[in-house]
A and B are shown apart, each in its own frame.
Chain A
Amino acid sequence: MTAQPRQVAFVIDLNKCLGCQTCSIACKTHWTTDQGMEHQWWVIVNTMPGQGTPRGWQEMGGGFKDGRLAPGRIPKREEWGQAWEFNYQEVLEGGMGTQVHLRPINPDGSEPTWGPNWEEDVGAGQWPNAYFFYLPHLCHHCSRPSCLYACPRDAIYKREEDGLVLIDEERCNGCRLCLEACPYKRIYFNPRLEVAQKCIGCFPRLEQGVAPACVRQCPGRAVWVGFLDDQEGPVYKLVHKWRVALPLHPEFGTQPNVYYVPPLAPHPIDPQGNFDRNRPRIPTEYLRYLFGPQVEEALATLQRERERARQGHPSELMDILIAYRFQELLGPFNANPAQLPRTPV
């Protein structure tokens, strides 16, 4: 009997993400500590509006256009941001602590002009109507992965059992066509091993019933994981039933499986100092650019249900988004990693 292919999906509530980078660090310490991976952040939280990581990725091409794979380009190392060193020696041990500030230094000794979180909290707009929100960004484990179509060696594959898109590093020859073709620019090049590397969906954890590190570690309860076809699960309900969780840049055409609940911000303040309830603070046009035309309906649903809950009415949507119980975020991957049997290394 052949099992139906299933798809694991992520939902990230941008109203709850607090930009703490705990997901980034959880992933970093799990997977990207080896040499050649210093610059890699398989999940990274960027302040939006902003240029993101790598800088300007949204305009680098890739994905599909008019039914064909679309031209893309490979980000340069400077656009990713390099793995900085710090002048700890000078400040902490060199007796210069009162004269010299701790500062980042590029591997080549130069002063950084960019980094993976360079634009933290910059955002857009003018006081008192400035705005920003955080966008956690990982591999989208697309249903139509352009990276997979780019690989000339069948080194990239999509798993039947969970839809994760993985790179076989034994087969990868480091040609980087996948970096060109990925429109989300979520694939890194390891210059030491000369292979492409990216988020693996924490598959060794999933296989033991444990949620990915970025999900389980999120202190804001902002990330859900689960099977997209599980009609009783929050992922299905947020994506398909309530239709408030949307793919990022759906026009890229890769059918991504990371979904975002778009941000509602307080209304802007008018010259008299009152809330202007006729205008959104975050321009809807910008959210449409990120999440496509469905965003207006999603925002309207969020606003309507939030209002219902405020008035004391029950709202399944608000209950899901609040996530009263931490376990609700984990879907079927609710095993506690601390209680798993461990084989000594």
Chain B
Amino acid sequence: MVSLVVALASRPLGELLSPWALGWQEAPQVVVPLATVPLEAQTSAYVRDVWGERPYGQTPEVGLRALHDGQRLALQLSWPAPQRRDLLDDDDVFLDAACVMFAMREDTPISMGSPQRPVRGWLWRPDWPQPKEVRATGPGTSQRSPGDGLEARASWQEGRWTVVMAGPLPQEGLLAVAIWRGADKERAGLKAYSPRWLPLELRREGGRA
């Protein structure tokens, strides 16, 4: 089973906030294939009736790297976004976004958890000064709150976002990713997601994994 190795960073995690920091070479990259959230899983009847005709959830994959320093986790996400959307300058404009979701148990529904299996995560958007904390107990239930202790830096170059998010090392051992492509007016359940939980494999010793 594929897992995401969380290597022990050999330099201060603060230096890794830059998406291009050399330290990221210490962390092996996992390329996670993404899927479109299917129409029948959409909680909006309007989306189910109308959005079958419109392309969404087209981001094919996301590259992930992870490092930690015993206290904090830094995640580097990299995905293709041919047309950048980072400025909310009209009512019909939607922004690129990414969310990493954490869960404790394998039986947590990947579709935003459930009342018995809540999930939480970090939501990044290019126009926010820091990611927001998200909690959910099922589709359509996510609640955002200020991302205390969360940081992010992002770079868009040649049709790709590379984003680093950092925050307190999570207790949870499983991770999932969702990507919203603003140019396709993706928002809410209109997104691409990793259809399986990815185990986090925490390395306590340094050196290249």
A-side interface residues toward B, CB under 8 Å?
68-77, 80, 146, 149-154, 173, 175-177, 179-181, 189, 191, 194
Knowing A68-B49, A76-B90, A176-B91, the reply to whether A153 touches B43 (Cβ < 8 A) is yes
Q: When the two chains form the complex, which single residue of B46, B142, B189 contacts A146, counting CB atoms closer than 8 Å? A: B46
Inter-subunit contact B91/A152 (CB<8 Å): no
B contact face: mostly helix, strand, loop, or mixed:
loop
- Chain A residues lying within 8 Å of B43, measured Cβ to Cβ, are 152-153
Which residues, 24 to 50 on B, are CB-close (under 8 Å) to A?
42-47, 49-50
Assembly CA distance A70 to B46 (angstroms): 8
9 more CB-based (< 8 A) A-B contacts, given A70-B50, A71-B53, A75-B92: A68-B49, A69-B49, A74-B91, A77-B91, A152-B42, A152-B44, A153-B140, A176-B91, A191-B91
Query: Which of A70, A152, A179 has the most chain B CB atoms inside 10 A of its CB?
Result: A152
Assembly CA distance A180 to B140 (angstroms): 18
Knowing A69-B46, A175-B188, A177-B47, the reply to whether A152 touches B140 (Cβ < 8 A) is yes
Query: Which of A68, A146, A149, A177 has the most chain B CB atoms inside 10 A of its CB?
Result: A177
Inter-subunit contact A173/B144 (CB<8 Å): yes
Which residues, 78 to 111 on B, are CB-close (under 8 Å) to A?
88, 90-92, 94
The 28 sampled A-B contact pairs (Cβ below 8 Å) are A68-B49, A73-B92, A75-B91, A76-B91, A76-B92, A80-B91, A149-B45, A149-B46, A150-B44, A150-B47, A151-B44, A152-B43, A152-B44, A152-B47, A152-B140, A152-B188, A153-B141, A153-B188, A173-B142, A173-B187, A175-B187, A176-B91, A176-B187, A177-B47, A177-B188, A180-B46, A180-B50, A191-B91
The closest CB in chain B to the CB of A54 belongs to B91
B7 to chain A, nearest CB (A): 35
Inter-subunit contact B44/A149 (CB<8 Å): yes
Tell me the count of chain B residues lying within 8 A, CB to CB, of chain A: 22
Knowing A71-B53, A175-B187, the reply to whether A150 touches B91 (Cβ < 8 A) is no
Assembly CA distance A70 to B48 (angstroms): 11
The closest CB in chain B to the CB of A196 belongs to B91
Assembly CA distance A150 to B45 (angstroms): 6
Which residues, 135 to 189 on B, are CB-close (under 8 Å) to A?
139-142, 144, 187-189
- Chain B residues lying within 8 Å of A77, measured Cβ to Cβ, are 90-91
- Chain B residues lying within 8 Å of A152, measured Cβ to Cβ, are 42-44, 47, 139-140, 188-189
Inter-subunit contact A191/B88 (CB<8 Å): yes
Inter-subunit contact A71/B189 (CB<8 Å): no
Assembly CA distance A71 to B189 (angstroms): 17
The closest CB in chain A to the CB of B49 belongs to A69
Assembly CA distance A50 to B195 (angstroms): 49
The closest CB in chain A to the CB of B89 belongs to A77
Assembly CA distance A177 to B51 (angstroms): 11
Q: When the two chains form the complex, which single residue of B45, B91, B142 contacts A189, counting CB atoms closer than 8 Å? A: B91
Query: Which of B44, B47, B141, B187 has the most chain A CB atoms inside 10 A of its CB?
Result: B44
Q: When the two chains form the complex, which single residue of B42, B46, B53 contacts A181, counting CB atoms closer than 8 Å? A: B46
- Chain B residues lying within 8 Å of A179, measured Cβ to Cβ, are 91
A71 to chain B, nearest CB (A): 5
Inter-subunit contact B46/A150 (CB<8 Å): yes
